[in-house]
Structure 1
Amino acid sequence: MSKKITITLLSICFIFQLHAQVAPNRYRVFFVDKNNNNYTINAPEQFLSEKAINRRLNQGIEIRENDLPVSKLYVDSLKSLGLTILNQSKWMNSAVIYSTDQELIDTLDQIGFIKSLKKLYPESIPPKTYSKTACSEYYTESDNSLSYGESGTQISMLNGHILHQNGYMGQGITIAVIDAGFYNSDILPAFDSLFVNNQVLDTYDFVAGDSEVYSDNSHGMKVLSIIAGNIPGQLIGTAPKANFLLLRSEDVNSEYSIEEDNWVSAAEYADSAGTDIINTSLGYTEFDDPSQNYTYSTMDGNSTFISRAADIAASKGILVVVSAGNLGDDEWKYISAPADADSVLTVGAVDAFAGYVSFSSQGPTFDGRIKPNVAAMGYQTVIQDISGQITKGNGTSFSAPIISGLAACLWQALPDLTNMEIISLIEQSAHHFSTPDYELGYGIPDFAKAANLTSIPFSLDSDFEIDIFPNPFSDNFKIYISNIHNYTTIELFNVLQQKVYHKQIYTPKTTELLQINNINNLPPGIYILKVSSGNSSLQKRVSKID
């Protein structure tokens, strides 16, 4: 049903002869170099797809030694000793091996081409079985409204609908979703057009070592529905016309460091296949083996295996989008890896009225950098469930794909920009750009504004324009409105979606300066201002302070 990418991904070799839950005898081996390699950086077409090479050329990125596959001589030497190679990483110059021969393992550090060895599992693992359970976020039933359905809120909050109205829906952009499984994605209604139009380019399961990703966990399916869903009147994704790689790296039945190796292999696979964007709604701080746990001091962007790899992915021109994590209410409270990586776009969560949601993991990184970078709607986000129903869920797992999809639309509109320039535009468009914090980072992006920061003109979805000042306000504020009709309606809504102010004003002139009074009794907080005139309306966020 899906169109497979016809490239030999020589940089990645998978010999998954054992399933992840079977045996604990797994080790990460680092090699000293890439000598005796069968490939050269002067012939990248032998190990990278044309699209991967063009991504580098378009962004002025050189082919480097870490693009080369791991030395086949080293891998073959390990095999000849009776070791099973589970996967390899060209970026990290490493391999994951399996062996029950402890005497052999103890001698590996004496081999000249082995730099170091790390055990990825404890001596024993409690037996677990695969299950097709939903992720930890919870869900509620949802009703339909408007053309986007209720998914319109999570898109219009970021002015993503304006990108769509201008014809940018992700066409020509490839997004790799690296997650825990895509249960029933091949038969659920939100993805009908995805498969009819051959937009799923490839799939791979880095846990089990096969291409079947539709019978595992449903978390990735829900994430995918936020980007690619297409049920008019119910759910429209942020980039429903993009192409996709569906890659499984997470084993929900256990939590061990080997899942970082799986993720790195998936990211390299995506790179070699020519992906533009990686969405990863995964994060790591604690493992089933406490000796593998991370501390806050390791959240510096350079200490963890997965964060270093995420930065390497970014150095290849890939826009890496990562959920901040759901530990804001936890004793830990901080972001997780790879959200701490300095070149990734880390996404926190807000509710439908732009308010910070307390579960959203916070910054800063241990070395003091702003994280998350931006935020999107991660509370009561509209998604598809395993039965095909449209529901709502909570988590930064669901705010990240909103950003990933709209970033694809923005990049489609601005194809000459680099991944880091796209990130910069997204940050600059956000509502807290001049005053970033450790809850929302630079704030909630405005993707129409991001596009208009360049020379690309974007048409808006209303006949009039408004400016609000001061914002934040304390007692009252003014609205400057242009191109309006005879009557204008002003409404304010609080974070509970309750209308707290309503006024209809006669506006005979095409341009008016309106004073909004009698609101000094409102409590401090975030409000949505809705201005309606004629057949058009605009919504803006306003903040009341003491």
Structure 2
Amino acid sequence: MRKEFLFLVIIIFFSLDSFAQFTKYVVSFTDKAGTPFSISDPSKFLSEKAIERRAKQHIAIDETDLPIVSAYIDSIRSVENVTVLDGSKWLNQICIATADSLAILKINSFSFVAKTSPVKRLVRSNVAERNQSPEWAQKNKFSKETKGILSPASPPVSGNYYSYGNSYAQVHIHNGEYLHNNGFRGKGMLIAIIDAGFYHYRSLPAFDSVNLNNKIIDTYDFVDNEASVDEDNYHGMMCFSIIAGNIPGELVGSCPDANFLLYRSEDVASESPVEEQYWIAAAERADSAGADIISTSLGYNTFDNPVFDYTYKDMNGHTSMIAKAATLAAKKGMIVLAAAGNEGDDSWHYITTPGDADSIITVGAVDTLGIPAPFSSYGPSSDGRVKPTAASVGSGTAISSTSGTIQAGSGTSFATPNLAGLVTCLWQAFPDFTNMQIIDAVKKSSSIYNAPDNRIGYGLPDFKKAFDDLTNQEIIRNIAPVLQNNFIKIFPNPFKNNFTIAVNPPLTSVATFSLYDAAGKLYFAKKVSVQSGVIQVIHFNQMQLLQKGIYILKYNDGKNKKSLKLMAQ
């Protein structure tokens, strides 16, 4: 009996000693039983903007949207020496701070607690204080992101809305200026940037326009639990400049007219899983604020305490907390873009989390010539999905420095916001499409869509191609009811410089479209492969050489014939 008692004492002693090594924990709950809220009445717990986004995309409200049961939180808060920091309704968990081992044993005894997981180790006295200066770069996770060769500033290009300067190459590689020139620059869209801090964004010249026009809707520091993010690390500021910067002739961002949420979740002085919980809290705040896009240039694989380290096998989209949350953010209707990581040329080699999440865009890095950057992390995810999803300029990217000058930066951190801005502009152009339909169009527009690899995924997106693809889809959506009674339709009619034909072919064949004038003179004949039951859109451009008057378009698939009258103005 004495031996058994001594053994129990030893077990408790080592358990308490183990708990004493940590100061922050995630407490996961078993359920949301007894909640006073109902998914049938979401206005009681979701913001109007969050509800609108779900309704617009026909996304069902589910239990993950319900708040954490307040009685559970109150019970945890009542435990002596415990401070509740924040929580996640999506994952049904809260983050707490305590150095009291007995408190953790008490919490684990509650029937509604599924588990407690340490996420931050005890800070030893020999750990240096965090250096808050902008030069803090040598001893943090971003030290690998180096300065590169800045592309020469491009002279103003005739017809371009913006004078991009040094940022022209990173926009042009995606045909991004096509969106800007057609009026899609982010107006009315809301982008959340979750990062490590936004050093002096209030005073740096790259952000004059967003500050003057009150484009920053919300800021919050989840590390220090305060509203201000201006005094922290510069990494988020540099990423922000790639999207929102506007210094004509020097730096113009990929989406300068959007509105922004700036959230800090990363503590560069240390690396621990508690930062994943901070990120989750930021993503849920972005959801509530009505964000369309989340751009995050953070990634996790190893930590200060090796007990928390991930393996490549864990990069499967459903092991890390942050990957689970990123996937849920996508399920709530947002588009999430995450950096692939800068581990391509080191022993880790592969993507980091949350880049392994499902239904998001994971971004690798290339230079301004489209050559993959050596440091850009490799895919696939450990469960075999294509990763990265796509690539953008992350080697020699034009960014704002802490002094306000324009410099070059290298890292997938900088590829991510560049692509995020252009994706936002594309979605602005097609607001009736869902997040996944926009992502699908971006993938299909990419340079190696038919043969994706583990370096740049589907390749470099071409936003003119994506725009054209979505335009065709939009036409098909609108014309489909008309084609139920008439398998071919011309619009606009009358036309000036171009017209479009929508056809729902009755037969799979090679059809001929022939254009004649009123006197029967043939102007052209175009052969197109058509498939029965599949609506196709065919564009006839540069018709301005036609004389004004009446024309006849004839359709012939070998069995079915149709003649339509149209007028050139």
**Is TM (by shorter chain) over 0.5?**
yes
Q: Does 1:279 align with 2:278?
A: no
Question: Which of 366, 379, 396 pairs up with 2:395?
Answer: 379
One-letter amino acid matched to 1:72: S
Matched, 1:139 2:147: yes
Describe the superposition over 1:30-67 as per-residue Cα deviations: whole angstroms up to 9, x where unpaired: 00111232433233223322221111001000111111
Q: 2:466 aligns with which of 414, 433, 450?
A: 450
Matches within 5 A, 1:348-387: 348-387=364-403
- Provide the rounded CA distance (Å) in 1 between the counterparts of 2:442 and 2:149: 31
Task: Give me the whole-angstrom Cα distance separating, in 1, the residues matched to 2:309 and 2:22.
Answer: 17
In the alignment, residue 138 of structure 1 is paired with which amino acid?
T
Bigger radius of gyration: 2
Counterpart CA distance in 2 for 1:206 and 1:43 is 29
Distance across 2 between alignment mates of 1:318 and 1:311: 10
Aligned: 1:117 with 2:116:
yes
Matched, 1:410 2:426: yes
Amino acid at match of 2:130: T
- Higher relative contact order (CA closer than 8 Å, sequence separation 6+): 1
1:33 aligns with 2:31: yes
Query: Residues 26-425 of structure 1 correspond to what in structure 2 (within 5 A)?
Result: 26-82=24-80, 83-125=82-124, 126-132=127-133, 133-134=136-137, 135-136=142-143, 137-139=145-147, 142=150, 144-146=153-155, 147-425=163-441
Cα displacement (A) at 1:74: 0.6
Structure 1 residues 288-324: Cα deviation after superposition (integer angstroms, max 9, x where no partner): 0000000011011111111011000000001000010
Contact 2:201 2:230 in 1 (8 A): yes
Equivalent AA in structure 1 for residue 340 of structure 2: A
Letter in 2 for 1:293: D
CA distance in 2, matches of 1:399, 1:47: 35
Classify 1:130/1:69 alpha carbon distance in 2 versus 1 (closer, same or farther; 3 Å): farther
Question: Which range moved further: 33-42 or 324-333?
Answer: 33-42
Matched residue of 1:139: which SS?
A: coil
Q: TM-score, normalised by structure 1?
A: 0.78
Q: Is residue 338–residue 355 contact of structure 2 (8 Å, CA) maintained in 1? A: yes
Letter in 2 for 1:196: L
**Hey, what does 1:14 align to over in structure 2?**
none
Q: Does structure 2 retain, via aligned residues, the 8 Å contact 1:38–1:72?
A: no
- One-letter code of the match for 1:145? S
Once the two structures are overlaid, the 10-residue window that deviates more, 315-324 or 46-55, is 46-55
Please report the RMSD computed on the Cα atoms of aligned residues, expressed in angstroms.
1.7
Question: Secondary structure in 2 aligned to 1:28?
Answer: strand
Q: What displacement does 1:24 show? A: 4.2
* 3-state SS of 1:386 partner: coil
Q: Distance in 1 between matches of 2:329 and 2:401?
A: 30
State how 1:7-22 maps to structure 2 within 5 Å.
Answer: none
| Alpha-carbon offset, residue 130 of structure 1 | 3.7
| Counterpart Cα distance in 1 of 2:259 and 2:70 | 32
1:369-419 per-position Cα deviation (integer Å, ceiling 9, x unaligned) = 110010011100000011110110000000011110000000000101111
CA distance in 2, matches of 1:66, 1:214: 32
Q: Is the 8 A contact 2:76 2:107 kept in 1?
A: no
Taking the aligned partners of 1:141 and 1:389, their CA distance within structure 2 comes to 14
Residue deviations 1:520-545 (CA, integer Å, cap 9, x gap): xxxxxxxxxxxxxxxxxxxxxxxxxx
Letter in 2 for 1:62: A
**In the alignment, residue 193 of structure 1 is paired with which amino acid?**
S
Q: How many equivalent residue pairs?
A: 437
What amino acid sits opposite 1:81 in the alignment?
V
Taking the aligned partners of 1:288 and 1:157, their CA distance within structure 2 comes to 38
- In structure 2, C-alpha distance between the alignment counterparts of 1:454 and 1:271, rounded to whole Å: 25
Question: Structure 1 vs Structure 2: percent identity of aligned residues?
Answer: 48
Whole-Å separation in 2 of the counterparts to 1:156 and 1:145: 11
Residue 342 of structure 1, CA deviation? 1.5
In terms of fraction of residues, the more helix-rich structure is 2
- Matched residue of 1:216: which SS? coil
* Contact in 1 for aligned 2:79/2:106 (Cα 8 Å): no
Whether contact under 8 Å (2:199, 2:230) holds in the other structure is yes
SS in 1 for 2:266: coil
Consecutive unaligned residues of structure 1, counting only runs of 5 or more, are: 1-22, 459-546
Q: In structure 2, what is the Cα distance between the partners aligned to 1:265 and 1:218?
A: 21
CA apart distance, 1:161: 0.3
